[in-house]
Amino acid sequence: MADEERIAIDSDADVVTARQRARELAAGLDLSSTDQTLLATAISEVARNITHYATRGEVRLRVIQDRDGRMGVEVVAQDNGPGIEDLDLAMQDGYTTGGGLGLGLPGARRLVDEFDVQSAAGEGTTVKLIKWARAPIRPALRSHRV
């Protein structure tokens, strides 16, 4: 497994850095340019909450691989902000009313393959996103090396 990259989010310029780095990682895994954009956009949505509501936070990026050999980019956005008291409300989809408490979480979820948010009032928020590459071209052989 590859190393983790940590990008401190102190200003909104860091949000740009984080999403561009994620895009580069995704490009390295041959994700389509559309998928790269979806991932970068999701990060932008989620990382913004760090700059708007928290004093400190970071984005951690990692290249991951599942059991079938499929590669993906995992993004964890964590902050020390006030936390989200009502997660259900935050994840509520409301196209026309801009639902989700304006945190952009339901929108970000639509852009990625796997999405998880952990948060509690006063305890900060951690959002995890995963964008997978399409199925591997050559399936990983169950090797029989001696």
Partner 1 sequence: MAVPILKQGPVLIASIQTALTDTDVLQLREDVMAQVTRHRSRGIIVDVTSLDVMDSFVSRSLRGIAHMTRLRGAETVIVGIQPEVAFAMVQLGMQFEDVQTALDLEEGLALLSTQLKEPLAGGG
Partner 2 sequence: MADSTPEPAHPAHPDGHGDASALLRELVAHLRANRTQLREEWARRIGEAALLTALSQEEIFSEATSVYDNYVEVLETGSVEALQDYARNLSERIIPRGVEVDEVVGIVLLLRDVLARSLFKKYQSDFELLNRVLDAYEPAANRISNIVAGNFVGERERVIRQQQEAIRELSTPVLQVRERLLILPIIGVLDGQRARQLTEQLLRGIRDNRAKVVVIDITGVPTIDSTVANHLVQTVEASRLMGASVIITGLSSDIAQTLVTLGVDLSKVNAVGDLQGGIEEAERLLGYEVTQGDYLAPEGR
Helix and strand element counts for the chain (H, E): 4, 5
Q: What count of other Cβ atoms lies within 10 Å of the Cβ of residue 99?
A: 17
Site for partner 2 contains 67 (CB under 8 A): no
CB 129 within 8 Å of CB 74? yes
Cβ at position 7, least distance to partner 2 in Å? 29
Among 4, 10, 12, 85, binds partner 1 (CB under 8 A): 12
Among 1, 34, 95, 96, binds partner 2 (CB under 8 A): 34
Site for partner 1 in 31-50 (CB under 8 A): 33-34, 36-38, 40-41, 44-45, 48
Site for partner 2 contains 1 (CB under 8 A): no
Q: What count of other Cβ atoms lies within 10 Å of the Cβ of residue 80?
A: 14
Residue with tokens 């995992």, as numbered in its chain: 74
Using CB under 8 A as the criterion, which residues of the chain lie in contact with partner 2 when the complex forms? Answer: 32, 34, 135, 137-139, 141-146
